[in-house]
Structure 1
Amino acid sequence: MEDYGFLSIVPPLLTIFVALYTRNVIVALVVGIFSGSLIIAEFNPFNAMLDAIENQVLDEFTSGTQSQVLITMMVIGGFVKLLEISGGAKAFARRMLEIVSTRAKAQLLAWMSGLAIFFTDSGNSLIIGPLYRSVFDEFRLCREKLAYILDTTSSPISILIPFIGWGAYIMSLIEKSYAELGLTEGEFQVLIKVIPYQFYAFLALLTVPIVILTGKDYGPMRRIQAEFVAKTAHSEHRPSETDAKDAAPDTPVGMFLYPLGVMLILVTALITWHATHGGITGAHIRSTLIISYLTASLTCMEMMRRYQGRGYTEMLGDFVKGAEGLVYVSIVLVLAWSLSSVTSDIKTADYLASLIGDSVSPAMFPVLVFVMGALISLSTGSSYGTFAILMAIAVPVGFQLDASMYLTIAAVLSGGLFGDHCSPISDTTVLASVGADCPHLNHVTTQGAYAGLTGAVTIIAYWLAGVYETPLVLLVAIVILIIAMTTAMRMFGEPVVPGDNF
């Protein structure tokens, strides 16, 4: 097995640099993939091009799992488009404006809606985003704030739910690692005990209401929000090509609630059925979403036919347009997966993990695992890849150091989640930008200031947990987070919009 050494971290670092410099994610991903293939091909450009296309991009595009993800996204996109065309989404937004009278309540409602759609980290942004664009515009809140809320209620909530795809995948990794060490505790029981130590997920979720309730923003979010307020000072609505068409005044909210209700009922029923018939796999989750969203789409189409007199041919065309709207996202996802494949081939994660060494104390080990996981996932944009690699490395090392297995596994998950939440090449980060309809790199930079502070508090939490292994550390971490965030807002923050927040 060839050791690429320092060269193994060049592609992800180059990708991040190009993304920030050119503000073009596709260009950055292509550069990263080709640079990795160039290293694999021993700097032969012709062989590198063949490797990039044949072994990376095409392999990822034709992978069964990846194809299922793309199809699922297309179906969700078609469903969301039907909700927009029907006027149901706008009717819902209008009803929310009747209920929600302040900026803080609008943001908190978006946050709670994101928590409710816990079953899909990728579909979350595509479902919630279009519904709240008009609401945020009405309250002169920038789309980047919406993207931050969407992104923070996707992966961070999904990783805490043991009976969806995330949980099934993580349990498979735990089972394998424990079997190799001769440990007999069941993977489900282990995962349940790990949940209280998943500090980054809990803290990220709680950061959102803390930010909202301060009524201020700091960092890049402060600047972009101020620019947005200035631009909309004399207008009521920020125009967007992707906004839903204005709903007729008599469009019932049921045009939105019934299809969504059908989808949620089917998702719950099918997941329950799978859970009681052999367990839930990633394929089960994806097939469940496809069946549920297709049925919900048919429900929406039938309601539009009955109450609006639309024809099925026209509505099928709208469904296809919704799916086509995700072509750009699909390209980014395929390229992101390809970059993850490249970094796997050149052992980027192994090189980074080797920098840790095995001469650390058991108390500090979870901290180092979290930092390493954060670096790997930030560079690759893949939480799943980070979990797979670090679980195989950190669990055996932690076992040898007599470190807490629950803390070690939680640190792996939190570290992988951090990159998934923050990396410009993460699929959920890209989808949050799409769902909110805002420039992708604006979302990355504005979210980074809040996520970075949350990550710093997470490091403190893992240090405390390494010394005092108790779930009560989570409560201490929450207190530290509140103090840190309110202090940052007091020192560097400005009001979201001049005037009262409530």
Structure 2
Amino acid sequence: MQPSFWSLVPFLLVIPMAMLTRQVLPGLVVGLIAGAYMMIPDPLGGLEAAIDYLLRELASPDNLRLLVFLYGFGSFVGLVRVTGGVSGFARWMNRTVRSARGAFGLTWLSSAGTFMAPDFRIITIGPVMKKVFQRFNVPTWKVAFVIDATSTPLIALIPIGTAFVGYMVGLINDSAGHQGLPMPAYKLLLASLPFNFFSILMLIYALYRSFFTGKVEADDADKNDCPPGIRTPFRTSPQVAYLEEACKPDRQKRKAKEKSSGDGSEHEADSDFPDPVEKVSESATPRAIHLILPILVLVGLTFLFTWLDGIQHASSPLGALAEADASKAMLWAVLVTLVLSIIWYRLRGQPLQRLLFGFLQGGNEMMGVNVLLALVWALTAVSEDLGFIQYTKQLIGDSIPPLWVAPIIFLLGCLISYVIGSSFGAWAILMPLGFSIASGTETPLPLVAGAVFASGSFGGFASPLSDNTVAMATMMKLPLMKYAHRKLKASVFVVIASAVLYAVAGWLLGS
């Protein structure tokens, strides 16, 4: 099909639909169907074309390998949770802390054992550190902020052993493949990590808030900042006593309103749909070794299989890691770790029924991500057939200097990710567009990829619609909108600084 304005229609439908529904999937479905009917304007032909695009992308070996990896990774997390590994690790942390600074240090160190996924880290560390910090009278919102900052921003920078890595490599591979770029996807991901300025700056800011500010803001004990309930062992503290007394009328009004309306608060509404894995894990004996050992095995096998695959193409160990097919190595590592973990858990006396439940339930939790990826692949393919890549190159040409490409993509991505509350969704929308613009303006691809990943990290961290924000507010019993507002205030300055850095980087790399 000849490149024209109509090749932009699928993507022009995705963004407003995602903003309108606050969900990415409806926008991707509408964009895919619209593109398919543009290819075959027939009542049944367009629908059949959409299905064909989906099946064709799912049949790709690289794509199928990624989907299996993500399901297996979810199964791994499910096994760790139902066998008491998470609760055991939490209990160990609670016994180790001696001071507020030590608690913050342990919060940062805990990311070494909970770096696989943001929600996993929040669910694991949030409730534990809340109890730990109550002993030192540290505001709950500050604890939540530091844990949040060491979730999405940190995990987006870790190039191995996370669900993010598989997803990011898949997006880069698909977008770069449609552009005909020869650079391996994992190598491009590694090159883009230093350009994820938002994540890097947010981590620096969180370090400052953790260890270099001891002053408690005046509104930390404000009577309007009333969580659904306050539980603390320091009943004699004047500040806590005031907060308890001030919050009683607020909680009484909230309960009366919920009773009369028949509707609960956001946090209590979430409790109507309990996490089945969490419920099963409550009956398991807490053992930290059930978390620590499998993670060490997973990370070790990932490095081993990556080196074994890459040593065929390079002579040095570092060169082998750079040249390896990382997606294949990560899949091997996850599958072998799953088999070894199930055998080990059985030898440790874990019931087979419990292990199968954790395996299946954990894997099923990743199906939403798999569906999202499949739709992104199909939408990218139909847009390419419509002439999207060629038209954007013709449209942009030399009209946008390389200096401004990365800042514009970053700021646009921040807007999209904040409105839809999804880092994965923003990456899915922007990566094909960003690579197309980059190839048309000769902007370095690592810089553009870094800007896309940074913008999604902003939304996943700061948006009140982000599942990370909602999960943290729920776990820590914080008012959702007030907590989200606190994060946004800190994030705005980081976003501005990041945009300036993207302009500087574009100027330096362009010159």
**The two structures share one fold, judged by TM-score above 0.5:** yes
Q: Is the 8 A contact 1:271 1:288 kept in 2?
A: yes
Change (3 A) 1:227 1:310: farther
For residues 36 and 224 of structure 2, the distance between their equivalents in structure 1, rounded to whole angstroms, comes to 41
Is 1:132–2:125 an aligned residue pair? Answer: yes
Is 1:36–2:63 an aligned residue pair? Answer: no
CA offset digits 1:60-102 (Å, max 9, x no partner): 3322222111111111111111111111111102222334578
Query: Structure 2: which amino acid aligns with 1:22?
Result: T
Query: Structure 2: which amino acid aligns with 1:324?
Result: N
Change (3 A) 1:209 1:369: same
* Equivalent residue number for residue 488 of structure 1: none
Change (3 A) 1:338 1:2: same
Larger Rg: 2
* Equivalent residue number for residue 183 of structure 1: none
Q: 1:203 aligns with which of 196, 201, 218?
A: 201
* Equivalent residue number for residue 421 of structure 1: 457
CA offset digits 1:372-396 (Å, max 9, x no partner): 476589666256535653453333x
- Superposed CA RMSD in Å reads 5.3
Give the TM-score taking structure 2 as reference length: 0.64
For residues 191 and 445 of structure 2, the distance between their equivalents in structure 1, rounded to whole angstroms, comes to 10
* Equivalent residue number for residue 92 of structure 1: 89
Change (3 A) 1:365 1:304: closer
Is 1:301–2:294 an aligned residue pair? Answer: no
Q: Is the 8 A contact 2:187 2:323 kept in 1?
A: no
> 2:44 aligns to what SS in structure 1?
helix
* Equivalent residue number for residue 4 of structure 2: 4
Q: Is the 8 A contact 1:305 1:312 kept in 2?
A: yes
> 1:251 aligns to what SS in structure 2?
coil
Q: CA deviation at 1:14?
A: 3.2
Q: 2:405 aligns with which of 355, 363, 368?
A: 368
> 2:58 aligns to what SS in structure 1?
helix
* Equivalent residue number for residue 159 of structure 2: 158
**For 1:229-378, what aligned pairs fall within 5 Å after superposition?**
230-233=227-230, 240-241=274-275, 242-243=277-278, 245=280, 251-278=286-313, 279=320, 284-307=325-348, 309-312=349-352, 314-348=354-388, 351-352=391-392, 354-358=394-398, 365-372=402-409, 375=412
Q: 2:63 aligns with which of 61, 66, 69?
A: 66
For residues 234 and 192 of structure 1, the distance between their equivalents in structure 2, rounded to whole angstroms, comes to 44
Structure 2: 5+ residue runs without aligned partners? Answer: 134-139, 234-266, 314-319, 417-425
* Equivalent residue number for residue 81 of structure 1: 78
For residues 188 and 302 of structure 1, the distance between their equivalents in structure 2, rounded to whole angstroms, comes to 31
For residues 69 and 23 of structure 2, the distance between their equivalents in structure 1, rounded to whole angstroms, comes to 25
Query: Structure 2: which amino acid aligns with 1:206?
Result: I
Change (3 A) 1:416 1:465: closer
Change (3 A) 1:255 1:314: closer
Change (3 A) 1:197 1:332: closer
Q: CA deviation at 1:367?
A: 2.4
For residues 114 and 50 of structure 2, the distance between their equivalents in structure 1, rounded to whole angstroms, comes to 36
For residues 198 and 156 of structure 1, the distance between their equivalents in structure 2, rounded to whole angstroms, comes to 8
Q: Is the 8 A contact 2:79 2:355 kept in 1?
A: yes
Is 1:411–2:408 an aligned residue pair? Answer: no
User: Aligned residues, how many?
Assistant: 430
> 1:230 aligns to what SS in structure 2?
coil
For residues 187 and 48 of structure 1, the distance between their equivalents in structure 2, rounded to whole angstroms, comes to 32
For residues 291 and 311 of structure 1, the distance between their equivalents in structure 2, rounded to whole angstroms, comes to 25
For residues 302 and 104 of structure 1, the distance between their equivalents in structure 2, rounded to whole angstroms, comes to 39
CA offset digits 1:304-327 (Å, max 9, x no partner): 3333x3343552343223222323
Bigger shift: residues 370-379 or 327-336: 370-379
Change (3 A) 1:458 1:195: same
Q: Is the 8 A contact 2:410 2:451 kept in 1?
A: yes
* Equivalent residue number for residue 389 of structure 1: 436
Q: CA deviation at 1:266?
A: 1.4
Query: Structure 2: which amino acid aligns with 1:63?
Result: S
**What percentage of aligned pairs have identical amino acids?**
20
Query: Structure 2: which amino acid aligns with 1:75?
Result: G
Query: Structure 1: which amino acid aligns with 2:94?
Result: L
For residues 209 and 201 of structure 2, the distance between their equivalents in structure 1, rounded to whole angstroms, comes to 12
Q: Is the 8 A contact 2:198 2:458 kept in 1?
A: no
> 1:296 aligns to what SS in structure 2?
helix
Query: Structure 2: which amino acid aligns with 1:460?
Result: V
Change (3 A) 1:266 1:143: same
* Equivalent residue number for residue 15 of structure 1: 14
Q: Is the 8 A contact 2:74 2:365 kept in 1?
A: yes
CA offset digits 1:255-288 (Å, max 9, x no partner): 2211222222212222222332224589842333
**For 1:203-222, what aligned pairs fall within 5 Å after superposition?**
203-209=201-207
Give the TM-score taking structure 1 as reference length: 0.65
For residues 190 and 61 of structure 1, the distance between their equivalents in structure 2, rounded to whole angstroms, comes to 23
Change (3 A) 1:369 1:297: closer
Query: Structure 2: which amino acid aligns with 1:255?
Result: H
Bigger shift: residues 345-354 or 297-306: 345-354
> 2:432 aligns to what SS in structure 1?
helix
Q: Is the 8 A contact 1:367 1:459 kept in 2?
A: no
For residues 60 and 187 of structure 2, the distance between their equivalents in structure 1, rounded to whole angstroms, comes to 31
For residues 350 and 452 of structure 1, the distance between their equivalents in structure 2, rounded to whole angstroms, comes to 35
Structure 1: 5+ residue runs without aligned partners? Answer: 181-185, 399-407, 472-502
Q: Is the 8 A contact 1:129 1:150 kept in 2?
A: yes
For residues 94 and 248 of structure 1, the distance between their equivalents in structure 2, rounded to whole angstroms, comes to 15
Change (3 A) 1:465 1:459: same
For residues 93 and 397 of structure 2, the distance between their equivalents in structure 1, rounded to whole angstroms, comes to 53
Bigger shift: residues 291-300 or 74-83: 291-300
For residues 181 and 22 of structure 2, the distance between their equivalents in structure 1, rounded to whole angstroms, comes to 43
Change (3 A) 1:328 1:188: closer
* Equivalent residue number for residue 52 of structure 2: 54
> 1:243 aligns to what SS in structure 2?
helix
